[in-house]
């Protein structure tokens, strides 16, 4: 009587769960060449399902190889999967920060957003600032609650001003919360459409705008720039099309651009689009007639400079620009054309970091050209009417006041600043203050 062979149990057809494979459910198939093949299924940690094929000389070997491959696939997919119990700052650094770095936005906006991102995660460089309500230490689940996000933004407003807080809200919304929604870690933004008080009040003193320098710090920066030799520390290039003179011209441009902004509050895009036809000289006074097409608000305005040293500094530059037909602060290597935005921003950043270290002004480590708008508004607060200050700085708020103000009265602000100039002054304190300045947007 023939021996009865027990039938092999039928493989389960149950749906694979996350992280499971079917290697032990299916039989390898022997091929004509003696090799064994195993086609199996795996459901990765990110939810995807794959059907790899493994090969081996024996059934045991093909299963070992398949299980090794399964482990590799699960590890790889797990590195891309986030859980609500994961650290929120780690997520922001690995997902949100690269999203900012690769976004199709202006370089100035990217630089500003990266600075704001540091405040959100508690990376402020100011030793006197304690960002106790930053997102540092939170998981994705705890850090995306409305009250947690609100406290983080309100604290930024109190320490760095209203505009910085609004920028932080934009970064949170677009580059953090939106990314979390895409990764299915939250259903919706907790702060979208919600009213937040980001006026930045400290006690009874309202603080609006960005970080402002003190009068001593402002004076120290101007004196430093007027005395700085652009050739100092510059070495000839070892290769490439640019010369030593070109490198020196880059530093000279950054110096003069910053000098102009310290006295006028012009946005960096406005300052580098000024051409000689927009500038007139009246003794020791320099007057800028800015047409709507180069201003951020698309409204023309007049800006005055009455500091004799700076006016004298710009007279030769103005004459050169008239002869070359280019901007007042043009490309260092090609005076007849505009300065490349990326090269310009890089040169300005290096100059600000240098000033922060050599002058002992920590704010310049993180703040860029918008700091001058807050500073000028703060220094003239109480002495120059707000409507004139807004007209001089070309702000978009309080349009009705600006419409009833002769923008030529901006000379009043320039004269007030001239009275505050104390050449060769040194900063008595390196503590920058939150300004009651007019809110501004990234240059």
CB within 8 Å of 395: residues ≥ 6 apart: 297, 402, 438, 439, 440
Q: Which residues does 374 contact at the CB level (< 8 Å), separation at least 6?
A: 161, 209, 210, 211, 212, 435, 437, 438, 440
Segment 41-64 shows an average pLDDT of 88
- pLDDT tens string 373-390: 888 887 877 666 566 666
> Domain extents for the chain?
16-70, 88-182, 211-434
Given a cut of 60, is residue 6 above it in pLDDT?
Answer: no
Cβ atoms of 190 and 144 within 8 Å: the answer is: yes
| Cβ atoms of residues 434 and 161 within 8 Å | yes
Q: Does the pLDDT of residue 336 top 80, yes or no? A: yes
Q: What are phi and psi of 321, to 5 degrees?
A: -65, -35
Predicted pLDDT of residue 424: 60
- Average pLDDT of the residues of the chain: 81
Banded pLDDT at 60 (limits 50, 70, 90): very high
pLDDT for 172 equals 96
- Six-digit token string for 133: 């309500």
Quote the pTM value: 0.55
Structure confidence at residue 12 (pLDDT): 58
Model confidence over 145-156: pLDDT tens digits? 999 999 999 999
| CATH superfamily, domain at 211-434 | Intergrase catalytic core (1.10.443.10)
Residue with the larger pLDDT of the pair 251 and 411? 251
- Torsions phi, psi for 301 (to 5 deg): -160, 160
CA distance 361 to 426: 11
Core vs surface per residue 117-138: b (16+ CB within 10 A) or e: bebbbbebebeebebebbbbeb
pLDDT score of 324: 86
CA R_g for the chain: 31
pLDDT(418) > 80: no
Residue 288's nearest CA partner among 316, 255, 273 is 273
Percentage above 70 pLDDT, the chain: 80
Q: How far apart are CA 332 and CA 343, in angstroms?
A: 10
Least confident of 166-175, 249-258, 388-397, 434-443: 434-443
Reply yes or no on whether the pLDDT at 440 is more than 80: no
């Amino acid at each position: 009587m023939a021996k009865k062979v027990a039938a092999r149990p039928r493989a389960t057809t149950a749906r694979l769960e996350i992280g499971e494979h079917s290697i032990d459910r299916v039989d390898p198939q022997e091929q004509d060449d003696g090799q064994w093949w195993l086609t199996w299924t795996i459901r990765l940690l990110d939810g995807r399902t794959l059907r790899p094929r493994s090969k081996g000389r024996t059934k045991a070997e093909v299963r070992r190889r398949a299980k090794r491959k399964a482990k590799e696939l699960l590890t790889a997919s797990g590195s891309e999967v986030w859980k609500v119990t994961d650290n929120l700052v780690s997520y922001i650094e690995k997902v949100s920060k690269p999203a900012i770095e690769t976004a199709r936005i202006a370089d100035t906006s990217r630089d500003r957003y990266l600075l704001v991102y540091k405040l959100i995660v508690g990376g402020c460089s100011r030793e006197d600032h304690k960002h106790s309500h930053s997102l540092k230490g939170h998981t994705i689940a705890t850090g995306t609650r409305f009250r947690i996000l609100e406290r983080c933004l309100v604290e930024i407003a109190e320490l760095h001003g209203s505009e910085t807080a609004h920028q932080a809200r934009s970064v949170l919304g677009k580059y953090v919360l939106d990314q979390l929604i895409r990764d299915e870690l939250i259903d919706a933004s907790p702060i979208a459409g919600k009213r937040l008080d980001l006026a930045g009040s400290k006690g009874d003193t309202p603080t609006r705008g960005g970080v402002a320098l003190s009068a001593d710090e402002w004076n120290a920066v101007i004196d430093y720039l007027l005395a700085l030799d652009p050739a100092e520390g510059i070495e000839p290039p070892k290769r490439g099309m640019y010369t030593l003179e070109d490198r020196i011209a880059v530093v000279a441009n950054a110096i003069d651009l910053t000098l102009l902004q310290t006295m006028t509050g012009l946005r960096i895009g406005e300052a580098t689009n000024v051409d000689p036809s927009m500038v007139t000289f009246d003794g020791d006074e320099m007057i800028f007639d800015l047409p709507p097409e180069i201003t951020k608000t698309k409204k023309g305005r007049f800006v005055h400079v009455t500091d004799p040293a700076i006016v004298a500094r710009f007279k030769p530059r103005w004459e050169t620009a008239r002869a070359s037909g280019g901007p007042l602060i043009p490309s260092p290597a090609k005076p007849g054309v505009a300065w490349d935005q990326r090269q310009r921003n890089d040169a300005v950043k290096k100059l600000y970091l240098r000033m922060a270290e050599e002058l002992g002004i920590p704010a310049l480590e993180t703040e860029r050209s918008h700091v001058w708008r807050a500073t000028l508004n703060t220094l003239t607060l109480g002495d120059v009417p707000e409507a004139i200050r807004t007209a001089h700085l070309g702000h978009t708020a309080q349009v009705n006041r600006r419409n009833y103000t002769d923008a030529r009265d901006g000379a009043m602000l320039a004269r007030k600043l001239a009275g505050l100039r104390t050449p060769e002054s040194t900063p008595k304190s390196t503590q920058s203050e939150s300004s009651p300045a007019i809110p501004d947007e990234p240059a």
